Amino acid sequence: MKTIITILFALFFVPAFSQPNANVATGDKIIDFKAHLIDGTEVQLKEIYNQSPLVLIVLRGWPEYQCPVCTRQVGEFVEVADQFKNYGARVLMIYPGPSEVLQEKAEEFAEDFTFPEGFYIALDPNYSMVNKYGLRWDAPKETAYPSTFVIDTKGKVIFSKVSSSHGGRADVEEVIAALKGL
């Protein structure tokens, strides 16, 4: 029991080792990048958001364990996939980590979910996208600040939320509200 309480305390109440210095915020043009989906398919971010609104979720990825808060967040988004479909939105989740184990650990993470059409996981080996966005949480057992961006079809960020802790992430209601505004 003491271990569970310690983990919960660390996840939600311990302040971040540092504060994010995100290079992307609401009102900005999103920074384009190429990524490889978990199945090996290469995607260009611009090609996705040019076709439909995009919800870009930066997970903690592989900080030497599967993050339970990421698992919960992804499950909540997958559970209401029809709402995203109603707004014509796609959801791209970024899974960062060290390249030597990233594919294996991302597959392990993804096996807990059945991803509907329009939901994708992309790998971010060695933090290239996370660094480009200023989201690298460079501390022991950390990878990236959990972040969510809603991007319109012109590449403008209409919603952004960057957490400086494991909790404090964008929830489904916030993201749906942003999509309603499109």
Which tens digit of pLDDT belongs to each residue from 117-160?
Answer: 999 999 999 999 999 999 999 999 999 999 999 999 999 999 99
Helices then strands, each counted (H, E), the chain: 7, 7
Q: Give the strands of the sheet with 157-162, arranged side by side.
A: 42-44, 34-37, 119-125, 90-97, 54-58, 147-151, 157-162
Which tens digit of pLDDT belongs to each residue from 16-53?
Answer: 446 788 999 999 999 999 999 999 999 999 999 999 99
- CATH number of the domain within which 134 lies: 3.40.30.10
3-state secondary structure at position 101: helix
Q: Give residue 19's pLDDT.
A: 76
Which tens digit of pLDDT belongs to each residue from 72-118?
Answer: 999 999 999 999 999 999 999 999 999 999 999 999 999 999 999 99
**10 assigned to some structural domain:** no
**56 assigned to some structural domain:** yes
DSSP annotation of 62 reads -
**12 assigned to some structural domain:** no
| Alpha-carbon span 147 to 133, nearest angstrom | 10
**9 assigned to some structural domain:** no
User: What's the number of domains the chain is made of?
Assistant: 1
